[in-house]
Chains A and B, each alone.
Chain A
Amino acid sequence: MAKNSLKWLALLGGVALGAASLAVAQDSGPLIDTLVKKGILTDQEGEELRVELLKDFGGSPAGKLGLSSALKEFRISGDGRVRYENRSGQNDLEDNQERARWRYRLRFGLTGKFGDGWFFGTRMETGTGNRSSNATFGDYANTPFGKGGNNAINVGQIYIGRVMGDFTITAGRFANPLTTTSMVWDGDINFEGLAEQWKHESGNVTWMANLSQVIYDDGNPENSFGGAAQNEEIYLLANQIGAKIKFSNGMALTVLPTYYAYANENGELTGGLTTGVAYPTGLSIVEIPVELAFTIGSLPARVWIDYAMNLDADERADFAGASAFDGEDTAYQIGFGIGQTKVKGDWEAKVFWQSVEAFALDGNLVDSDLFDSRTNMEGVVLQFGYVLSDGVTANLTYAHAERIEDALPAYGAGDIGTTALEKYNLIQADLNIKF
C-alpha cells in the first residue's frame, strides 16, 4: 500500500513537474531513473512517463520551438538602451554648438554551437553607422514618430568559427577580438574578415595571441575594361601577442602589445583627414595596452594604461599638409576603475585621462562619443554605473576635452560641426537592459 501511494505520488509529481515547468520535462530523466532504481516505478512505467512528459512538453509554447538537432547549444541574447545625451563644443572664436538628444539602441542576436567545436553568431542592431547603433527620437525627416534611417534593423554581426583546443578561428563580421581601449577602437565597430586567436594557460601565466586580417574597404572592380581606374581592397592587419600573469596575492597583470598595418592604404577612399572617412594614409601603429587588476577590500579594481605611437606619422602629417607637425604621433589613456556591474546593487566607477595627438591614431576608428571622433584632443572621462536590478543598469558618463595643438585642426568629423574644436563636453545618462 505504501509503495503504491509513493508510486502515485511520484507520477503526480512528474505530471506536476511537466505542468508547472514544462521546460524541465526534457531534463526529468534522472528523476525517473531514480524512481525506477528505488522500485517506485517499474521500468515500463518509467518509459511511459518519459514519453508522456515529452508529449506534454511538445504541446507547450516552448516545445513548439523547433531547433535543428545539429545544434549543441543555442542562445538568444541582446540588450536595449535609452539615453539622454548632451554634447557641446566651442570653436576658436569661443562660439558654441550644443546638441541634446534622446536616443535608443536595440541589439539582439542568436548564437549557437555545433559538434567538433564549430560555432556561429548573429546580431541584429539599430543604427546604420559603423560607430553607433543609436537611433534618435524624432529624427525622421520631419515625420513625427516615423521609422527608417537609424531606426531600421541592420546586420551587426554574422560569423562562423571553430574552436580547436587552444585555437579559435572566426570568419565573417564579428566583434573586435583585440584587447584594447576606446582610445583606439570605438566599441561599436565590428570587424569584417578573419581572426585567429590562441590562448594557452601555463601555470600562473596565460599566453594569448589575437591575429586579425580585416577588409577595411572593398575595391570594386579590381580590374576594369579598357583604361579605367583599377581598384584594390584596403586591408588592415591587426595582430597582438602577450600574456596575463596572475600573482599569488590575487593581482593580475595583462600586457598585449599590438601592431596595426594597412595594405593598399589609398584604395578607393577619397577623404582627407577632416572628413568623415579618411584615407588610412601614413598609419603604422604600435599599441601597448597594460592592465593591473587587484582588489580593494572586497571590490575588484584596476589601473590601466594604453599607449600608442604611429610609426608613419611623418607620412600622415605630409598627407595632411602639416609636415612640420610630424612629431604629433603619440596617444595614451591612463585610468583607474573600481567595482563591477554584474548583479543587483553592484556599482562601478571609472576615471581616465586620454591624450591623442593629431597623427597618432586612425581617426576612422576612435570612439565617436567621448571626444567626438577626434584626434588632437585630450581630456578626462568619468563614468559610473549602478545595477538597479539583475539585467538593468543605469550609467552616467561625463567627458571634457580640449584641443592639444592649436595650429592643427581637431581631425575627424563628429557631431560638433567644426574642425576648429577648442573645447568639448559630453554628458550621457543611460538606462540599459541586458537579456
Chain B
Amino acid sequence: MKKSILILTALVAAASAQAQKLVIKGSDTLGAKLVPMLSEEYKASHPGVSFEIAAEGSTTGIAAITDGTAAIGMSSRRAKPTEVSAAAAKGVSMKPIIVCYDGMAVIVNEKNPITALTKRQVEQIFTGDVTDWSAVGGTPGTFSIYTRNTSSGTYSDWKDLAMKKRDYAPSSQKMAGNEQIAAEVGKNPNGIGYVGVAYIHAPGVKVIPIEGHLPTKDEVLSKKYPYARPNFYYTNGEPTGEAAKFIEFTLGTEGQKVVEKVGFIPVK
C-alpha cells in the first residue's frame, strides 16, 4: 500500500512538472516573432516548460497582468496611468522590465521617389493635415496611410511620438500587425506606414530617414532617432518561478542574441 502511494505521489509530481506552462500575452510587436523564438530557445534547455503566447496588442498584455490571466504581459508601450491605478486597485503592482529597444520606422513603397521626411511632415501626413505626396515633395498621389489598430501599443506610441498626441487622419487604415502594414505598403505605391525595426526588410518597402536619422542600433540607443522606444515585459511585482527564469533568459546573453537576430535592438 505504502509503495502504491509513493508511486502515485511521484507520478503526480512528475505530471505537474511536465505541465509547467508559462502564459504570455500582449504586444504583436514582441509576440509575433521575438517571444516565440525566445520560447523555442528556452524550451530547448528547459524541456518541461510549455508556452501559451497570445499576441493581440499591448493593451491585452497589461490587462492580462491586472486580471492575473498571464504571468508575463508583453507591451511595446508604457502602461498608462489608468492601467497602473486599475491594477493597484486590484492589488496588482505593475512592474516594467525593458527587454529590448525598437525604432518605429517610417516605410514607403520602394518605388516612391521620396528620400527624406521631417518630423513635421510625418505629423502632417498621419494627422491628415496634408493628403497628397506632392505636399511633401513627392509625385502627386493621395496618401494611403496604414496604421496599427487601437489595442496596439505601437498605435498609441506613434500618436505620442510622431503626432503630438493628435488624432489619426480619418482616411487612415487600421491593420492587425506590423507584417500587414509592411505588406500593404509593399503593394501600394502611395502607401506609407510605420513598423518596428524587425519588419523593415519586408519586400517592396523602404525606410525613410527622419531629419537624417534612421532606426539603427546606434541611433536608437543614443536616442537620436525620434521614434525610438523601449519594449517591455510587465509582471505583477517581482517575477517569480518560471516567469523569473524566462525573463532572466530573455535579458541574458542568449536571449539578447535572439533579440538581435529577430531585428530588435538589445538592451546591452
Contacts and interface: CB of A to CB of B under 8 A. Distances in A.
Contacts, number: 45
B230 A51 contact: no
A51 B98 contact: no
A184 B94 CA distance: 59
Contacts of B93: 55
B242 interface: no
A37 B79 CA distance: 21
Given A26-B81, A44-B97, A69-B82, A55 B88 contact: yes
A183 interface: no
Contacts of B267: 43-44
Interface string B153-180: 0000000000000010000000000000
A44 B98 CA distance: 6
Q: Is the interface of A mostly helix, strand, loop or mixed?
A: helix
A313 interface: no
A61 to B, nearest CB: 13
Interface in B33-57: none
Contacts of B167: 115-116
Contacts of A92: none
Contact of A51 (B82, B89, B96, B223): B96
B82 A48 contact: no
B81 A47 contact: no
A232 B148 CA distance: 52
A58 interface: yes
A50 B83 CA distance: 13
Contacts of A44: 97-98, 267
B264 interface: no
Q: Is the interface of B mostly helix, strand, loop or mixed?
A: mixed
Contacts of A59: 88
A47 B82 contact: no
B230 A43 contact: yes
Interface residues of A, number: 18
A54 B96 contact: no
Given A58-B81, A58-B85, A115-B167, A51 B232 contact: no
Given A43-B230, A115-B167, A58 B98 contact: no
Given A43-B230, A47-B230, A57 B81 contact: yes
Contact of B81 (A43, A48, A54, A116): A54
B25 interface: no
Interface residues of B, number: 20
B98 A47 contact: yes
A109 interface: no
A48 B96 contact: yes
Contacts of B85: 54-55, 57-58, 63
Given A37-B223, A47-B98, A115-B167, A54 B230 contact: no
A69 B84 CA distance: 13
Interface string B70-108: 000000001111101100110001111110000000000
Nearest to A26: B81
Contacts of A26: 81
11 contacts: A37-B223, A43-B230, A47-B98, A50-B78, A51-B94, A54-B81, A54-B85, A55-B84, A58-B84, A58-B88, A66-B82
Given A51-B84, A57-B85, A69-B82, 15 more contacts: A43-B267, A44-B97, A44-B267, A47-B96, A47-B230, A47-B232, A50-B78, A51-B94, A54-B79, A54-B81, A55-B94, A57-B81, A58-B85, A58-B88, A116-B167
Interface of A: 26, 37, 43-44, 47-48, 50-51, 54-55, 57-59, 63, 66, 69, 115-116
